[in-house]
Amino acid sequence: MKMIKGPAIFLAQFAGDAAPFNSLDAICGWAASLGYKGIQIPSWDGRLFDLNKASESQTYADEVKGVVARHGLSITELSTHLQGQLVAVHPAYDAAFDGFAAPEVRGNPKARTEWAVDQVKRAILASRRLGLSAQATFSGALAWPYVYPWPQRPAGLIETAFNELARRWLPILDHADEHGVDLAYEIHPGEDLHDGVSYEMFLERVNNHPRANLLYDPSHFVLQQLDYLDYIDIYHQRIKAFHVKDAEFNPTGRQGVYGGFQSWVDRAGRFRSLGDGQVDFGAIFSKLTQYDYDSWAVLEWECALKHPEQGAAEGAEFIRKHIIRVTAKAFDDFAGSGADAAANRKMLGIS
């Protein structure tokens, strides 16, 4: 068996304009001081990382690795969640998602999509220069406005959406394969890939592409009431990244999964800091270890109640305690009687 690496932390929710969150060097020092061993870098945040330079310059990539290493840290993955979101945007969300894009392509959906595809491809090149094997991303969404089947969906609508989604992603997946990088799609409401069935619909259309893989985050499954442990049993061979994020679901007579348009703090389902929600992380770490997941356990902090710095401080120790040091021997080896083929045949009554 192999051992999960960590603890690590996704920097997206912590990056800011004030020290120590406004530069890669400073935020690495902060993360290391809390006990983290790895960082997942949001590739869109210029305060921490220049994606274009990293995709073009090995010298710059080596400088980034050097900054991180000076603090005793490793880079776990680059994240292209925001750019991946823009690979496919339904027109209803144009205004909402335009802010994710570079200013020069806002208001131009075609140019925005082309920019997003280029960004994800650049992150693949940057990942290769950084020596990384996976990239965390979103799929984007064309069908999401029609997730609930009322009014009745026209025949072929969802199939057309997934055909187009696959058409856009297949060249990116091929590019990833050329450079030895897995795309780890975070299965997430708001994306067309939001559960196992929708992922399989996509996977079929990209011909079971070897690089079309998964980022596992149980919090989104709690909010959907999906069995997040069975999910590991089904998809463990495709899980290439892991966000350690907690959540809770407390339905009432007034609201359930859809949340009644309430703010996060007032929803039946909400994200929580590690240990404050309902996710059974003991079972998750056990299953991932059982299936030889040996990549990183990365804290993604999102909580409706707790301050992010408290969540980060508590999260490092929480993950550390859940990582299983794998055994090198069976617990009952002391009672073993050795291997003897003749004795085995005799025990079975085989002459």
**DSSP state string for 109-138:** HHHHHHHHHHHHHHHHHHHHHHT-SEEEE-
Burial class of 250 by CB neighbour count within 10 A (0 to 12, 13 to 18, 19+): exposed
Map tokens 């794998």 to a residue: 326
Helices (H) and strands (E) in the chain, counts: 13, 10
The Cα–Cα gap between 103 and 115 comes to: 11
Amino acid at position 173, single letter:
L
Which mean pLDDT values do the consecutive 10-residue runs of the chain (351 residues) have? 96 98 98 98 98 98 98 98 98 97 98 98 98 98 97 98 98 98 98 98 98 98 98 98 98 97 98 98 98 98 97 98 89 73 89 78
CA torsion sign for 263, 268, 271, 276 is: positive
CA distances from 89 to 42, 98, 342 (A): 20, 10, 67
The Cα–Cα gap between 53 and 46 comes to: 11
User: Which tokens belong to 222?
Assistant: 């709690």
The Cα–Cα gap between 235 and 215 comes to: 11
| Helix runs in 219-307, H state only | 219-224, 228-235, 281-290
Burial class of 299 by CB neighbour count within 10 A (0 to 12, 13 to 18, 19+): buried
pLDDT at 307 (0 to 100)? 97
| Helix runs in the chain, H state only | 24-33, 51-56, 58-70, 81-85, 94-98, 109-130, 157-178, 196-205, 219-224, 228-235, 281-290, 308-322, 341-347
pLDDT at 334 (0 to 100)? 64
Q: In the 8-state DSSP scheme, what is residue 154?
A: P
> Could you tell me the residue range of the domain that residue 245 belongs to?
5-347
Q: Could you give the angle at the alpha carbon of 172 between the alpha carbons of 170 and 175, nearest 5°?
A: 110
Contact 296, 241 (CB under 8 A): yes
The Cα–Cα gap between 90 and 18 comes to: 35
The Cα–Cα gap between 329 and 114 comes to: 52
Contact 38, 296 (CB under 8 A): yes
User: Which tokens belong to 145?
Assistant: 């406005």
Indicate the number of domains in the chain: 1
319: CATH: 3.20.20.150
pLDDT at 232 (0 to 100)? 98
Q: Report the half-sphere exposure of 44 (CA within 13 A, side-chain side).
A: 22
Return the number of other C-beta atoms located less than 10 Å from residue 290's C-beta: 14
pLDDT at 346 (0 to 100)? 86
Contact 110, 162 (CB under 8 A): no
